[in-house]
Structure formats: structure tokens, C-alpha cells
Structure 1
Amino acid sequence: MEEKLKKIQQDFLNKTKDTKTLAQLDELFIALFGKNGQLDELSKQFKDVPKDELKKVGPLFNQIKQQLEISINEKRGTIRKQIYQSLQNEKFEIPSERTGRKEKKGHLHPVTQFEEDIVKLFEKLGFVQTDAPQIDTDYNNFEVLNIPENHPARDLWDTFYIDTTNYKLQTNKLLLRTHTSNAQIRILKNNKPPIRVMTLGRCFRYENADARHEHTFEQFEIVYVDKDVSMTHLQYLSEYFFKSILGKGIQARLRPKYYPFVEPGVGVDASCAFCKGKGCKVCAGTGWLELAGAGMIHPGVLTRGGIDPDQYSGIAWGVGIERMTMLKYGIEDLRSLKSGDLKFLGRF
């Protein structure tokens, strides 16, 4: 019996050493340890072994069984390591003609494309780009811009306020900015006239989503401060923008509009590119789309920014990037831009 055990031991140690694949090793394991395997069959013969010999054979059986199991497990680890290293070193390409699919290359989102275009457009006029935080204080977003406590824009239905109850902060009025105008006070304080600065980024308002509105949207804004800046400059920049982006066929108009941080303020409209001014669901039947808000920077805002309003004047001009993107690419529903529909976005 002892010779049989040692023969099985040596036999399977040699086979384990020569095994090349995990499948072969599994077969070897079953042949040795499985039901009706060699060790199982051998253990059934113990009943015929004399007790004196069994006292010696029993421990030897367990010892050999344990040794063979360790040997197989070590070999399994070695083979797996070899497979892993082989996969790491393996390089292969799948030609598109084999998959039956054409190669698809990624590209910039239409909103991102438009943002790059508008930045390049104003860089030609000497404007430099800056950023402002999307989470800001109530002061920077509202108070410094002449928006009093009871102004509709301060209402909780319009603004996302942040609950700071459990945080030790210098201010308990934090919010998601409602416009890029929160950059104005920083621009005025950090620059000396003449100032030509532009900023863009994400803004947030509590609004119902429809063809023209979203709770999260992108804005672009410029601040231009110098001596003798007037509404003539504002009109020129508006026409320069619309004609450069949308083409000469788009009409623009200025109409009086109230913004607390500019005086006077204007709404800058463009003729609807979808209905050519006849009226449709995109323009709500008016034939016009309000795309920009602008005006002469309020003397109080200039003063808070450290600029003497008696020596300098300035204009603030902001536009909704998604709406401009809709006009440029002929997109009828604002929500399509953030749908994640790659088939739709791949058209641009």
C-alpha cells in the first residue's frame, strides 16, 4: 500500500509539472481528488489493510494528499500568472471591415463648439477670458448687483439656495449662481480700466423644462469698461456678434428692459431663424427670440468694484449659449442638446 501511495505521488507530481493549461490541470485534479479518483479508490482499500500497517499508511496518505493538493494549487497560480502576463503584452487591432461597422470618431458637443467660436470671436476684439464660481455668495450674485432683498430673482422659486445649517461658514447664504454676472464684481476689482473681459459657464435656475428653458444652462458675458463707453458700443457689439455667428440675414433689435445692475438696460433680440419672423412654437409666435441682456453698468456697481463712475463707463452684455446654438444649428428643442442622444448630437 505504501508503494502504491508513493507511486501515485510521483506520477501526479510529474503530470502537474508538465501541465500547460488550466483545463488540463482541472482534469488532473478530478482524476486525483474527484469521486472515484485514484485517492478515493485507494482509500476504499484501507479496510483490507492490517491495523499495524494502517497506522503507518494512514498518516502517509494524508501527507501525500496534502502535498499533491498544494502542488496543483501552486501550478494553477503559475499558469494564471503566465496568462495575465501574456494578456498584458498582447497587442491587437480589430479592423473595421471585420466588425462590419464604420469607425466612429468623437467630436465636441455643439454647445462646446459654439463656446469656442464665441470666445475666438471676442478675442479678436481684445477680450480676455476669466472664470467665476458656480457656487457663490448671495452678495456676489445679487446684493452687489443692485438686486434688493425683495426682487423676484431672489425668490426661492427662481434660485437654488444651499442649506448650510450643518456647516461653519462665514456666510449662511450660499447658492448656485443664477447668471454669469456674479463675475462682474471680481472683474471690476481685479482689473484696471480699460477692461475687456469675457466669462462663460454653467448657471442654474428653478424653471420648468420646455423647448426654450432648462434648470441648468450656459451663459456668456462680456464686461467692457473705458472712458466714453456708450450705448453705441453696445449696439456695435450686438450686431458684430449676431452677424458673425448667425449670418447677415438675421435681424437684431434693442428694446428697453430693466436689469438692476445696468442703467439703462436693453433686451437684445434676434429674428427667429425657424419661422423667419412669422411666428412658431420656438419663438412663442412673436417672430423674435430674446437672446441677450445688456446695458450700461450701473454707477453703483462700478463704485463697489473700485472704479470711479465719473471717469469711466462700461457695458455688460450677456447671452444664453444654448439658445444661440439652437439658432446656429437649427435645433428646435433646447432639451435635445442635453438628451445624450448620440445619433442626434452626431449631426453637428
Structure 2
Amino acid sequence: MNVVEAEGKALAEIAQVSSLPELEEARLRYLGRNGIVNQFLSEIPELPRQEDRKKAGGFINAVKGNIETALEKKDRELRQKSLKEIDRSSFDVTAPGLAPQTGSVHPLTKFREFVRDTFTKLGFEEVYAPHLEEDEYNFGLLNIPPDHPSRDLWDTLYLEDGRAMRTHTSNMQVREMRKRKPPIRVMTFDRCFRYENVDPHHSHTFTQFEVLYVDKDVSMGQLRFLSDLFLKAVLGEKTRTRFRPKYYPFVEPGVGVDALCPFCEGKGCRICGMEGWFEIAGAGLVHPQVLKNGGIDPKEYSGLAWGFGPDRMLMIKQGIEDIRYFYEGDLRFLKQF
């Protein structure tokens, strides 16, 4: 196929084109980098005489210009035709539109707001403590010296400068006692970190909630009241609680707070592991040494500390079997809330 034949074929094809995508295909076929016109241009250097090369170049460029003109003319025709079709089409402005997809608040964030509102009504103020913490606030001032065996329970992650990624929200206790004078009512809801294997019930990053109340004559009765009030608000009015003796170095006495399984009401089921009860929280009266470390006289004042894992409590409330769902960002899970 020579140049003249290629021009005739190109102009004929362009005249028959009926859409913009077809027109683009024709343009690439004839004027693209590997198109027919460029192939002719690449053969010019093979001509033996300078005069012939000059004539061939001028003629091929003229053909290229004719094809470009035809393409531009056809492009205008097709666009005008498209606009006319739009003008003729009907559009019902009263028809309902497509509803956009909307997001929702993360279940842990919802739960945080509920917990914050509940304890704010009881006079507690939300406070924060560092995630990267000095060893004394995370352990030492909480009655856990360097050689204390209970340190092994926290699986702590340390930085090279000696600071730790806090293992619990209790690192706020002495810091807040040193800032304030009794009565002290503070709460914190934040993340903690431990060197743990990830499984359906454990994670290296998790959330804790804790309250600290320091005043005159604070007793286990008030601790029981807080536990019952909050757990009934979360799990329902039928919820029963119990205290079991449990050891924590920074409280004395210490208790584990259990709640009756809301699904089987104590009979035993798959969700509660056939126990009938869930361990919900850890609590106790603040150890006198911790009060001293916070600058408070334990002979005049006493205090309580009460905390739980919101992840676990929400798993129990919603029947969720894997803690990792909260942190994976899977929309199939999050859209259920």
C-alpha cells in the first residue's frame, strides 16, 4: 500500500466512524507513534537522492495534514451530535437521587462515649497519661519495684532509653494525685501495649478504662456500687456481679469483678465458656504506699481504683468472638454497627 492509497483509505474510514472511541482508534492507526504515516516517514532516509527525499517528505506531511483535518472535522461532528442527543433526552428533576453511602461511628468509639457520659454524670473528669512512660510511673510508684515478680505479668515493651510503652492506664494514678488535692475523681480511656501473641482474645495493642477516686472514708461498698451501676447499664438490669479476691500490687485489698453471663443467666453457655460468669474488671482500694507516693496521707484519705478492658466487655455485650475485628478496619464488620 502506497501513500496515496493509505490516504484514501484513512479518509474513507474516518467518514464512516460513528463514535469518539472509534475515531481515536483511527487516529492511532494512521497517526500514532507506530501508525502507517510514521512508517512512511521512517522509509524516507532509504531514498538515494536528496531531492527525492525532500519531495517524499513534503508529500507525506501533506497527506498527514489532510488526515488530521479530517479527524478534527469528524471530532466536531460527533461532539455536536452527542450534545443534540442530550438535549433531546428527558430528565426528571423530581426523581429521587441515589443515596450516597454513609459511614458510621466505630463501635469502640460509641462505647467510649457511653462510658464517658456515664462516669461524667458521677463527677469524674477524663484525664490522659503518656503512652511512652517512665518506669517509675508505670511500675515503681505503683508499688512494683524492679525486682518484683509481678512485673513478669505485664510483658512490657521497653525503648532503648529505658522508657516503656505503658502496659496499663494505672500510670495516671500517681501523676494525677500529685497534681490535685482530694477529693479526686478522674477517669481515663486509652490504649495500652504489651508483648503478647495475637489471638482472638489477646492483642499487643488494646484499650483500657480506669477510674481513680480518692477522698475521706472511701470503702469497698462504694466500689461495689460503681461496679453494679455501670455493669447493669451496659449488660442490663438483670446483671448480677460478684467480687473475688485477687492480687494487684497497687491496691489492697484487690478484687476481680465478675458479671453473670447475660446470655445464659448463669447456666453456662458457649460464649461464657460454660462458666456462667465473666471476669469483667479488676479493682481494689488504693494501696497506702501508692497514696504516699502521690503525696496523700493514707491515714486521712483512702481511694479506690476500678478498671476494665472495653474491648472484652464489648465482645461480651455484642457476642463478638475475635478482638482483632476492632482494629482491622474490615467494612463487613464495621457496617454492622
Give the structure-2-normalised TM-score: 0.71
- Partners of 2:224 and 2:167 in 1: how far apart? 25
Matched to 1:240, the amino acid is L
**8 Å CA contact 1:230, 1:296 repeated in 2:** yes
What residue is the counterpart of 2:104 in the other structure? 107
**8 Å CA contact 1:153, 1:159 repeated in 2:** no
Displacement after TM superposition at 1:305 (Å): 1.4
What residue is the counterpart of 1:177 in the other structure? 166
Displacement after TM superposition at 1:113 (Å): 1.2
Selected match of 2:203 from 201, 214, 226 = 214
**8 Å CA contact 1:211, 1:282 repeated in 2:** no
What residue is the counterpart of 1:245 in the other structure? 234
- Partners of 1:142 and 1:280 in 2: how far apart? 38
What residue is the counterpart of 1:137 in the other structure? 134
Displacement after TM superposition at 1:37 (Å): 2.9
Matched to 2:134, the amino acid is T
What residue is the counterpart of 1:15 in the other structure? none
- Partners of 1:334 and 1:122 in 2: how far apart? 25
Displacement after TM superposition at 1:270 (Å): 0.6
What residue is the counterpart of 2:13 in the other structure? none
Displacement after TM superposition at 1:146 (Å): 0.7
- Partners of 2:145 and 2:270 in 1: how far apart? 34
Aligned-residue Cα RMSD (Å) equals 4.1
Selected match of 2:155 from 124, 146, 159 = 159
Q: Which has the higher mean CA deviation after the structures are superposed, 180-189 or 328-337?
A: 328-337
Number of residue pairs the alignment of both structures matches: 296
How far does the alpha carbon of each residue in 1:145-166 deviate from its partner, in whole angstroms, 9 at most, with x for none? 11132334423x74242341xx
- Partners of 1:52 and 1:176 in 2: how far apart? 80
Structure 1 residues not aligned, in runs of 5+:
1-20, 69-95, 165-171
**8 Å CA contact 2:133, 2:163 repeated in 1:** yes
Q: Which has the higher mean CA deviation after the structures are superposed, 119-128 or 109-118?
A: 109-118
Ranges of 4+ aligned residues in structure 1 off by more than 6 Å:
21-30, 32-35, 51-61, 96-99
Is the counterpart of residue 150 in structure 1 residue 147 in structure 2? yes
Structure 2 residues not aligned, in runs of 5+:
1-19, 66-94
- Cα 1:342–1:97 change in 2 (3 A) is farther
Matched to 1:161, the amino acid is L
State the secondary structure of the residue aligned to 1:289: strand
**8 Å CA contact 1:270, 1:289 repeated in 2:** yes
- Partners of 2:105 and 2:319 in 1: how far apart? 17
State the secondary structure of the residue aligned to 2:195: coil
Selected match of 1:123 from 113, 117, 120 = 120
Displacement after TM superposition at 1:25 (Å): 8.9
What residue is the counterpart of 2:8 in the other structure? none
Matched to 2:37, the amino acid is G
How far does the alpha carbon of each residue in 1:285-341 deviate from its partner, in whole angstroms, 9 at most, with x for none? 322111111111112111211222222211111111012112322334434444544
**Identity of matched residues, %:** 48
Give the structure-1-normalised TM-score: 0.69
What residue is the counterpart of 1:302 in the other structure? 291
Matched to 1:114, the amino acid is F
- Partners of 1:127 and 1:314 in 2: how far apart? 14
Displacement after TM superposition at 1:274 (Å): 2.9
- Cα 1:272–1:214 change in 2 (3 A) is farther
- Partners of 2:172 and 2:322 in 1: how far apart? 29
**8 Å CA contact 2:257, 2:283 repeated in 1:** yes
Is the counterpart of residue 317 in structure 1 residue 306 in structure 2? yes
What does 1:34-45 align with in structure 2 at a 5 Å threshold?
37=37, 40=40, 44=44
**8 Å CA contact 1:46, 1:54 repeated in 2:** no
- Partners of 1:246 and 1:113 in 2: how far apart? 15
Displacement after TM superposition at 1:345 (Å): 3.1
Q: Which has the higher mean CA deviation after the structures are superposed, 270-279 or 333-342?
A: 333-342
What does 1:1-348 align with in structure 2 at a 5 Å threshold?
37=37, 40=40, 44=44, 103-155=100-152, 158-164=154-160, 172-348=161-337
